[in-house]
A and B are shown apart, each in its own frame.
Chain A
Amino acid sequence: NAGVMQNPRHLVRRRGQEARLRCSPMKGHSHVYWYRQLPEEGLKFMVYLQKENIIDESGMPKERFSAEFPKEGPSILRIQQVVRGDSAAYFCASSVIPGPKNTDTQYFGPGTRLTVL
């Protein structure tokens, strides 16, 4: 049973370019969460999505960042006009039911490491 898959694993962009990060949740999981980890820091929640719905995007920067989880295909985190401060590891997690509970938890993918030159 494949785990959470993310691609690409490493992404290099120049300032002003667009970055697209993809996440395929575990089989049977319909809840997806994106977290960002800046160097030497903990993970910060960005957005929570269900199929075709953004449930909570309170952790997303107001500009340049967007996320989607279409009916078919992976969840996409899109960063437009990247800046050096966007350099970070972006982790996707998925779960069977909403949120971490005593019957389930969030399973993390391997992450995408974005470097902005």
Chain B
Amino acid sequence: QKEVEQNSGPLSVPEGAIASLNCTYSDRGSQSFFWYRQYSGKSPELIMSIYSNGDKEDGRFTAQLNKASQYVSLLIRDSQPSDSATYLCAAPPMDSSYKLIFGSGTRLLVRP
């Protein structure tokens, strides 16, 4: 069974710090990876997508992908209290590229 694994947290960081969120996946055929942010009671919102090994930066967010280790991470620089949410890692399995397999999410708390 193809899985996406995340530490449920909560991950607590002080305001201004770097938050590091990690995700591992079991399907070596997965080619694309997505980070969604979900505030309590709200719908998932796409933060970042990454397709190639290495880093991809967008503002305060950096996604990192290592396909050999089947590992993807999200770094949030200068964390703000408004970043407090659950972060969901997702990937489409190789045999069904149109659906997303989600991890259970990591809850991030940014302390003022």
CB of A106 within 8 A of chain B? yes
Are B99 and A45 neighbours in the complex by a CB distance under 8 Å? Answer: yes
Interface residues on B, range: 20 to 34
Are A56 and B96 neighbours in the complex by a CB distance under 8 Å? Answer: yes
Interface of B is mostly: loop
CB of A69 within 8 A of chain B? no
Chain B contacts for A33, CB-based, 8 A: 98-100
> Would A44 and B98 be within 8 Å (CB), given that A99-B92, A110-B42 are in contact?
no
> Would A42 and B102 be within 8 Å (CB), given that A91-B43, A102-B49, A105-B46 are in contact?
yes
Interface string of B77-112 (1 = CB under 8 A from A): 000000000001010100011111111110000000
Closest chain-B Cβ to A10's Cβ sits at a distance in Å of: 10
Most interface-central of A43, A56, A59, A99 (chain B CB within 10 A): A43
Residues of A within 8 A of B (CB): 31, 33, 35, 40-45, 48, 55-56, 58-59, 91, 98-102, 105-111
